[in-house]
Amino acid sequence: MTRLLLALTAAFGFLLAGCGSSAPPPVPRAADAVAPPVAIEIPSIQAQSSLIRTGLNPDRTIEVPDGHRPEQASWFEFSSLPGKPGPAVILGHVDGDHKPGVFYHLSTLKPGARVIIERSDGSRLNYAVTRVHKVDKDEFPRDEVYGNTPDSELRLITCGGAWRGGQYGYADNIIVDARIIT
């Protein structure tokens, strides 16, 4: 059983950009020898960011980048490393602090769009978008997001849909699936 399958047994909620769903976060994994991701670029929507590592908050919800810096994306360190089998989870804000976030145009991506991940060893991996979907946060598809895959895949996640206000944030998540092409 992989670390991602173990993650599905966690009993805590998913929290992204101030709005949560009932999906559990992954459980921490052992260190891996592959170089971690340090940057993301999505040319078709002019999105680019360095990647910081995020993990779990003390309440075991998923830590996200600071909402006052919505241009910053993160790699969820308890997901797969890009280039390894399984989904690597990249989180970014749609907006924050009264300005657009790094994933402001994520929902407009089309299948085939390229996503480039740079790793700390200088290598670059190319992925192609296979699906863009919007899901109600209360129906977060945790098996699809964290489930085991034989190939290296990405899951890009941001908030979207209707704004519910204050502590509730957005009603939905925008999830982009992408598969490695090089």
The domain that holds 113 is classified in CATH as 2.40.260.10
Cα–Cα distance, 49 to 93 (Å, whole number): 11
In a domain, 29, yes or no: no
**Per-residue model confidence (pLDDT) at position 26:** 52
Residue 30 lies in a domain: no
Helix runs in the chain, H state only? 3-7, 142-146
pLDDT at 45 over 70: yes
Mean pLDDT, residues 58-83 taken together: 95
Domain count, the chain: 1
Q: Which two tokens stand for residue 92?
A: 């970014």
* Widest CA span in the chain: 43
Say which amino acid occupies 7.
A
Task: Say what the pLDDT of residue 75 is.
Answer: 98
What pLDDT is stored for residue 4 in this prediction? 37
pLDDT at site 43? 98
Q: Residue 111 is part of which domain span?
A: 3-24+35-180
If we measure between CA atoms, which residue out of 129, 126, 140, 117 comes closest to residue 177? 129
If one compares 71 and 31, the residue with the highest pLDDT of the two is 71
